[in-house]
Every structure is written in structure tokens, then in C-alpha cells.
Structure 1
Amino acid sequence: MRIVLRRLFSAINPSVNRNAVRFASNDAKKEPKKEEEIKIKNIIVEKFGAITTLNIDRQVTRNSLDIPTLQEMAAAINEFDKDKDAKVLVFYGEGGTFCSGFDMDEMGEKGYSTMTDAAARLLRRPLCDKVTIAAVSGYAVAEGFELALSCDLRVIEDTAVMGFLGRRFGVPLSLYGGRKLTSLVGLSRALDLVITGRLITGVEANQFGLAAKLTSTGTALGEAIKLAKSLSKFPQNALMMDKLAAVNSQLNPNSEESMRDEAVMTSLLGNAIEDIKDGVQKFQKGIGKHGKFYKLSELPLKDWEMEDVSEEIIIKEGVSTTSTTTTTTDKDEKKT
């Protein structure tokens, strides 16, 4: 994917100075014109002139977010914020998947609160003062969906799959996803996705109004880069002022009711953490993996659920009578 990205930029602007960085060392600062790539474990940050890309690269776990990844992302976003030459940040995932959310194994080991503490930088509303774009391909689920919602714009492939899959395991929305989704698509549609946890395709996400651009499979990153390039040409001060005014009007309502609601949600977290522990165990046993919502728990059937009842209408000489037959599967008896 990175090779394709570099070819794309070369085609768009052969003279652009590319810097592939994962945090510049002192040596890199002394030679700013030299292309540098300092590798860390889970993400790759590359600079293409005014455009910065952040690539989540944990393909073994479908680009899930463990604590080191969240810390690396926070540092990279802060570096982008401080970079005077950087104007647009594009998020994407390596290997055809955007992000599958928190690493459930790590959550089971270190706890939900530890994960959310590591993700604190992603709670900021908006995520950055500068423009952010999510190039969504493959799965963007759980906190991965919330990360996409945190960005200002989303370029979504038609075959992308999005949804709050944490619903299966009792994991609440961790990055203000409910508030962000509601502000984008309205309460009714947001409640549908939040309560049911159902998955939607990129096509449906576009119908909901989540996509700045709907594109075909394999083209989200290229289209996001094109969009970023066009936005980087605008005077940035007015753009950021207008963006912040729009975002703050929806996501940062400074009212007693809003603060009270967040306090109530925090008070519910204690019970939710117990559900999360059970959910992690289910996940590790294979229950509910791969987006499955059925057989999330094994419940014994009640007697009435084990009975098959059928009605038979018999007509004799113009008079109809009804015969009811009940079959009890566990006792193999019939009653008429």
C-alpha cells in the first residue's frame, strides 16, 4: 500500500518532497531534505508536502488498537498538530482493513479503563484543529468505526463494513462515538446502529450521510489523498475557524444537561466493566467472532419453547371443528 501511495504522489506532483517518518530523530532534524523512515512497531507516518498520512499496520489482528498503538497514534497526531507545514492528516489501515477496534486480548489482560486512558488523545472534539480524513476500506468496526467518525471527512469504499461490534461483548462506545454519530446522521439512525450493533456497508453509510465521497474497492486512499491535496490549497486559518465553529456547535454543547449526562454515563461504567470481562472471555473462546451476532450465549429452553402447537380444522357435514395437537419434544408425548 505504501508503494502505491508513493507512486500516486509521484504521478500527482513529481516534485513533492516525501518524508516517511515515524518520529524524527535529532539526525533527521539536521538533514530535513533527506528522506527518513524511522520504524516503530504499529504505525507508519509519512509526509507528502502539506499532507500527512497515518497508517495503522497491525494486519495480524486486522489493525486492532493495543496500548502501544494508541500511544504511537497520540504522539503522531500531536506531531502533526505542531508541524506548521502540515495541513491535512489522512488515516488509513494497511492490508485492506481500516481498524477493528480495541485489541480484545489486551483489554482482557490490562482492563478496559487502561485502554481508554491510552486512547485519551482520540477523545478530543474535534480530533485536530486541522483537517482530518479517514480513508475507510474493509472493516471499520467498534473503536475503528469511532475513529472514522472522529475525522472531519470520510472517503468510504462501497464494500467497506462499519458498525459498533463491541455491542456483542458489552463494550460501551469508548470515543464519544454515540454523540459523534448522532450529530452526523440524526438520532433515529444513530440509535439504530448504537443499540443493535448491526453492520452497514459503505453504500448504506453514504446513504446515511457519513461519506464525503463513496468510492470503489481499493481506491479510498487515493481518493482521500486527492481530496486532501485540494483542501491543502485553501488558506488554512479561515478554514479551521469555520470548521471549529461547525464542530463545536454539535459536539461541545456547554450546558448543565450535557455535563450531567456524561456524569451519568461515567457512573454506569462500573457495571459495564463486569460485562466487558464476560465479553472478553466469550471473544477468546471464539463466540461472536467475525461479526456474528447469533449464539452469543447458551440459554436453556423453557418448556413452552420446546412445544410445537398445530391447529387442524376438520369439516364434517358443514360443521367445522378445531383440533389442537401439542407435541412435547423432550417427553415425546402427544396430547389431543
Structure 2
Amino acid sequence: MTDTNTAEPVVLTEVRDGIAVVTLNRPQARNAIDYAVAVAVAAAMDEFDARADVRVIVLTGAGPTFCAGMDLKAFLQGEVPALPGRGLAGLTEAPPGKPLIAAVEGHVLAGGFEIALACDLIVAADTASFGLPEVKRGLVAAGGGLLRLPKRIPYQVALETALTGNPLDAHRAYALGLVNRLADPGKALATALELAQEIAANGPLAVQVTKQVLSRSAAWSPQQMWEQQSALTTPVFVSADAREGAAAFAEKRAPHWTGR
């Protein structure tokens, strides 16, 4: 889908050696999210989640800013940058099953921060800043920010961040465990691709199920957790990839994964 003001696609996609890169492409609007972006992001995530040749997805933004959040001009015209069942940017309520890495530069604010929080991992330029300034505009961070942030950093820090609307700089976000890796300015995408390559080198079935167990287990009771984990992991142990991994180790060679 394209931006009617520039005729440029609002989201760019490419695949590099098993890694899909999805780029928010409205740099003139600091990659603010409107309905067209939401539709395009949802379509990209669906495509890459279904493609056997894609193992990891990286989400980034064009230009010096990852995403400034909801397009307030579009909001004032009655537009909602969310999709039913998919959430803000077509992503926050329904992230892909495959690992999703946010590669962020500059300001990661409001809905932009909520999009980053919907990702599994965050790689940030050390000059980036994160914030939920919705309260400063009489709004609420209802795109997942209030739900996810207290699970990613200490509750009191999350509360202060959300109630004041003040930003966290990248170094503090890294120290709190919110950011996985810091990069030099302009190198967030390159660093995220390095991380993605480390993940993509592993067995795709094992990676996908590992993410499922980690993301779902918080909702499992002590009585459920072993049964639920077994239901997800047992097929991995009897897969062709599991046999290939063992054979490759024994033969001292790189494994050749088939995803089966």
C-alpha cells in the first residue's frame, strides 16, 4: 500500500538469507502509523510468517526515527491506525509466530514504543529514546504499552514512565533489560540482522516452539505447565530436524535444516 501524499509504499519488505526486513516507510511523518500502515504491516507479517524460507523477521523504520506513534493528523480526521483482532499497526494484538526483532533509531514513542514492545527482541542505537507520552496529549497507551511494559522492566519504573510520559534513554533501557543489544547510531538494523542471523542458524522448528513456550507459559498454572510444554515440544523431538541436528553434531558439520 502507498502513501497518497508521496506515492511511495508505506511499508517496504525484503528477504535477506532467511531474514525478512519490514521497514516502516513514512520518514516525512517520522513513520507515524495510519490505517494504511496498519494494513501493510499486517499483510507483511502474515506473508513472512507463512513463508518457509523466512526464519526471523526484523521490523525497522526508514530515516532517523523508528516510529513516532499514531498519526495524530489522521486521528483527528477520524482514522484509527488499528485492525480488528490485530491491534495497533496490525501487530500489537497478534504478533507473528516467528521471532520478531525491532531495530530502532531515534525516537521510539507512544505507539512506536508499543510496536517495539510487541516484538520479541529490541536492538537500539545508543542514542535512541523510548517513551509513552500519551498522557501529555490526554490519551492512554492502549496499544499494549501499559500491558507489556511492566512485564519487561520493574513495575515502579514502568509506572513512572507511563504516568509522567517522560522518556527512557537507550542506555537505561539496556540496563533495565528492555533492550537486548545497543548499536552505534545508524547501525541498529545491521546489529539486528547479526542477531537475527544467530537465531536463523538454529533449527526453525525448535526456535518457533521455544518462542511459543516462553511467550505462553506465563499464563499456565503449575498444574498445566508440564502438560502444555510437552504438547508443544514433543513433535520437535521426533522431527527430521532433531535427527539432523544430532547427526550434524556427531559428524562435526553444519546442520541442513528442512523445517520438518
Q: Same fold (TM over 0.5)?
A: yes
Could you give the per-residue CA deviations for residues 143-177 of structure 1, whole angstroms, max 9, x where no partner exists?
Answer: 00011111111111110011012221122113211
Structure-1 residue corresponding to 2:198: 230
Unpaired runs of at least 5, structure 2: 2-6, 222-260
Q: 1:171 maps to what in 2?
A: 139
Contact in 1 for aligned 2:133/2:162 (Cα 8 Å): no
Equivalent position amino acid for 2:92 in 1: L
Deviations 1:227-271 (A, max 9, x none): 111110100212221212111234x579xxxxxxxxxxxxxxxxx
> Are residue 124 (structure 1) and residue 90 (structure 2) matched?
no
The code of the aligned residue for 2:52 comes to K
Q: Are 1:154 and 1:211, in contact at CA under 8 Å, matched by a contact in 2?
A: yes
CA distance in 1, matches of 2:133, 2:54: 34
Tell me if structure 2 keeps the 8 A contact 1:116–1:174: no
- 2:176 is matched with 208
The partner residue of 2:81 within 115, 133, 143 is 115
Match of 2:73 in 1: 105
3-state SS of paired residue (2:74): helix
The residue that corresponds to 1:246 in the other structure is 214
Deviation at 1:131, TM superposition (A): 0.5
Aligned-residue CA RMSD in angstroms?
1.9
Structure 2 distance, partners of 1:123, 1:207, is 24
Matched, 1:94 2:67: no
8 Å CA contact 1:122–1:175 kept in 2: the answer is no
- Of residues 24, 33, 45, the one that matches 2:13 is 45
Gaps of 5+ in 1: 1-21, 23-38, 255-336
Distance 2:97 2:82 in 1: 22
After superposition, the C-alpha distances for 1:65-86 in whole angstroms (9 at most, x for unaligned) are 1111111111111111111110
1:57 aligns with 2:25: yes
Amino acid at match of 1:160: A
User: Using the alignment, how far apart are the partners of 2:31 and 2:220 within structure 1?
Assistant: 33
- Is the 1:74–1:122 contact (alpha carbons within 8 Å) kept by the matching residues of 2? yes
Cα deviations by residue, 1:118-160 (Å, 9 ceiling, x for unpaired): 66231335x1111100011101100000111111111111100
Secondary structure at 2:77 match in 1:
helix
Structure with greater contact order relative to length (CA < 8 Å, sep ≥ 6): 2
Corresponding residue of 2:247: none
* Distance in 2 of aligned mates of 1:196 and 1:136: 22
Counterpart CA distance in 2 for 1:93 and 1:116 is 18
Partner of 1:289: none
Distance in 2 (alpha carbons) for counterparts of 1:42 and 1:179: 27
Q: Which TM-score applies when normalising by structure 2?
A: 0.77
Partner amino acid, structure 2, of 1:41 = P
Structure (1 or 2) with the larger CA radius of gyration: 1
Any idea what SS the aligned residue of 1:162 has? Answer: strand
User: 8 Å contact 1:145–1:162 — kept in the other structure?
Assistant: yes
- The answer for the alignment partner of 1:137 in structure 2 is 105
Count of residues paired in the alignment: 213
Cα distance between partner residues in 2 of 1:245 and 1:123: 19
- State the partner residue of 1:79: 47
Task: Flag the structure with higher helix content.
Answer: 1
